[in-house]
Amino acid sequence: MFKEDSNDTIAAISTPPGESGIGIVRLSGKRALAIVDEIFASKDGEKASGFKTYTTHYGWIMQNAKVIDEVILTVMRAPRSYTKEDIVEINCHGGIVAMRAVLDLVLMKGCRLSLPGEFTKRAFLNGRIDLVQAEAVLDIIRAKTDSALRIGTEQLRGTLSGKINKLRQILLEMLAGIEANIDFPDEDITGVHLKRTLQKLNEINGTLKEILDTARCGRIMREGIHVVICGKPNVGKSSLLNALLKQERSIVTPVAGTTRDTIEEVIDIKGLPVRIVDTAGILEPRDLIEKKAVERAKRFIHLADLVLLLFDASRRLDKEDQALIRKLKKKPAIAIINKIDLKEKIEKEKVLKNFKCVIELSAKKLKNIGLLEEAIVNLVYHGRVSSPESVLVSNLRHIEKIREAQKLIEETAKSLDNKLSLEFVAEGIKATLVYFDGILGKRFSEELLDKIFSDFCIGK
């Protein structure tokens, strides 16, 4: 692995591998323009180092008088760029060979291959964004639903950062007044001043609680949930998966045991990212493959956030159904009576007795699929679904630090209310500021940065 050096000029392919109309090779650093001067021939003969910022130019990437690719060059000069350094983006043809040839050439001319997330890390270290905003970049890249995308965009705009910065400023002003009184005890703080300080601490405590109230919905919208479809053979599990996906993903036949292994897909159910798994329905495996499939199915069921347990409305409950009911009635589950388009034979009351949520539908006829989607969302959010715009926190790192800060503020307010020494109040405020600074990245360790940015792709 390359050793990171902020003085290096870095380069990477910033678009996904594969065939596409355009692929981007991005450079950032002090020598970005000088390096491009050596390899870019513009149509009008000008050098890249002479281009104005935020301009694009047509030309060719050349190596020893040989054309490597026809490109569009974009120049963004420091400090008004993504990294606050000189950035050049070479928009070449999107084939992997063309992009690799351009990247190899800029590396040969003196660039270093970027580490994962190094462009965004430089944006943070150079002060263009704070750590919350840097993490939001990854959230946007990884967003699986519109809701997750909107949360990431709000974080990148600085919604959470603005809230924390405002609270931080109030605490700093309070701390200055309290420490002045500690240093100059002869100038005693009036009762009115102490009362106002207590009021502000309680207001901050209330604001932090409001932020934390959005945390559960925020995490779900950001990370999604794991849902497993299970049931005995031939109850319609694969048909249900296809109905939820709104496309044919699983093979559906009248033959029991068609699904011999788990099938996974990520779907968007009313803004909720759901990783849904269709499991093998074979309870008595006939061979080694089916045995492993059943073992995998059991493991997925054990780890699932929610189980969709299917029953066939056209058949009476048997021992296999009863075994599944006993196993899953204490786990978060929705019982689904499928095939309601056929003549009903199931003892419905036995299902209703064991599960709080029962949905009757026809996966094949796509009847009542919307009811199931509503039930999944209501069960996950416990009837309290926040809009993406109202979610202020979704990242576990932020949630943990805000939770600790809220506890400290609550304890500090109690100390002041109980007329304890102002030193206790000052220490409580200082400790809270440490958590706020940790969220924003005003205090950080290299280990923390390495952990955060290692999750990024190379080129972002």
Q: What is the DSSP string of 315-368?
A: S---HHHHHHHHHHTTSSEEEEEE-TTSPP-S-HHHHHHH-S-EEE-BTTTTBS
Domain boundary among 118, 147, 169: 118
Has residue 108 got a pLDDT over 60?
yes
Residue 224 has a pLDDT of 85
Q: How many helices (H) and strands (E) does the chain have?
A: 16, 13
Does residue 378 or residue 86 have the better pLDDT?
A: 86
Give the strand order in the sheet containing 40-42. 40-42, 55-63, 66-76, 87-93, 22-28, 10-13, 112-113
Q: List beta partners, residue 371.
A: none
State whether 19 and 92 are in the same domain: yes
91-101 exposure pattern, b = at least 16 Cβ within 10 A, e = fewer: bbbbbeebbeb
Provide the number of structural domains found in the chain: 3
- Report residue 271's pLDDT band, with 50, 70 and 90 as the boundaries: confident
Q: By the 8 A CB rule, do 355 and 321 touch?
A: no
Residue 317 C-alpha from the chain's centroid:
41
State whether 245 and 375 are in the same domain: yes
Residue 280 has a pLDDT of 67
State whether 336 and 421 are in the same domain: no
Question: What's the one-letter identity of residue 220?
Answer: I
- Average pLDDT value for residue range 72-95: 96
State whether 179 and 202 are in the same domain: yes
Is the preceding omega at residue 332 within 30 degrees of 0, hence cis? no
The CATH number covering residue 21 comes to: 3.30.1360.120
Residue 191 has a pLDDT of 55
Residue 459 has a pLDDT of 84
Q: List beta partners, residue 336.
A: 310, 359
State whether 344 and 291 are in the same domain: yes
Which of the residue ranges 7-16, 25-34, 172-181 would you say has the lowest mean pLDDT? 172-181
Domain boundary among 356, 381, 406: 381
- Average pLDDT value for residue range 198-217: 92
- Average pLDDT value for residue range 282-286: 54
Has residue 182 got a pLDDT over 90?
no
Q: What is the pLDDT of residues 411-433, one digit of tens each?
A: 999 998 888 888 899 999 999 99
- Average pLDDT value for residue range 130-136: 95
Has residue 174 got a pLDDT over 80?
yes
State whether 437 and 313 are in the same domain: no
Q: What is the pLDDT of residues 56-71, one digit of tens each?
A: 999 999 999 899 999 9
Closest listed residue to residue 136, CA positions, set 445, 443, 439: 439
Has residue 269 got a pLDDT over 70?
yes
Closest listed residue to residue 170, CA positions, set 441, 436, 421, 442: 436
- Domain membership flag for residue 182: yes
State whether 358 and 256 are in the same domain: yes
- Report residue 38's pLDDT band, with 50, 70 and 90 as the boundaries: very high
Question: What is the spatial distance between Cα 199 and Cα 193, in angstroms, rounded to a whole number?
Answer: 10
Has residue 189 got a pLDDT over 60?
no
- Domain membership flag for residue 175: yes
Residue 1 has a pLDDT of 41
Residue 121 C-alpha from the chain's centroid:
17
Has residue 151 got a pLDDT over 50?
yes
Work out the burial of residue 432: count CB atoms within 10 Å of its CB; fewer than 13 is exposed, 13-18 middle, 19 or more buried. buried
- Domain membership flag for residue 45: yes
State whether 242 and 202 are in the same domain: no
Q: By the 8 A CB rule, do 99 and 3 touch?
A: no
The per-residue DSSP string of 216-236 comes to HHHHHHHH-EEEEEE-STTSS
Domain boundary among 354, 381, 408: 381
Residues of the chain above pLDDT 70, percent: 88
Does residue 375 or residue 330 have the better pLDDT?
A: 375
Has residue 188 got a pLDDT over 70?
no
Has residue 252 got a pLDDT over 50?
no
State whether 208 and 265 are in the same domain: no
As a 3-state breakdown, the chain gives helix, strand, coil percent values, each rounded to 5, of 50, 20, 35
Does residue 218 or residue 368 have the better pLDDT?
A: 368
Has residue 80 got a pLDDT over 80?
yes
Has residue 190 got a pLDDT over 60?
no
- Domain membership flag for residue 254: yes
- Residues 6 or more apart whose CB falls under 8 angstroms from that of 264 comprise 275, 276, 277, 278
Has residue 382 got a pLDDT over 80?
no
Question: What is the spatial distance between Cα 325 and Cα 355, in angstroms, rounded to a whole number?
Answer: 9
The CATH number covering residue 240 comes to: 3.40.50.300
Token output for 189: 């703080």
- Domain membership flag for residue 100: yes
| Mean per-residue pLDDT of the chain | 87
- Domain membership flag for residue 5: no
Residue 2 has a pLDDT of 46
Domain that holds residue 339: 224-381
Q: What is the pLDDT of residues 225-241, one digit of tens each?
A: 899 999 988 899 989 99
State whether 14 and 71 are in the same domain: yes
State whether 233 and 210 are in the same domain: no
The CATH number covering residue 209 comes to: 1.20.120.430
- Residues 6 or more apart whose CB falls under 8 angstroms from that of 107 comprise 11, 113
- Report residue 361's pLDDT band, with 50, 70 and 90 as the boundaries: very high
Q: What is the pLDDT of residues 289-322, one digit of tens each?
A: 556 666 776 777 888 889 999 999 999 999 989 9
State whether 234 and 373 are in the same domain: yes
Residue 383 has a pLDDT of 62
Has residue 55 got a pLDDT over 60?
yes
- Domain membership flag for residue 403: yes
Has residue 160 got a pLDDT over 90?
yes
- Average pLDDT value for residue range 60-89: 96
- Domain membership flag for residue 32: yes
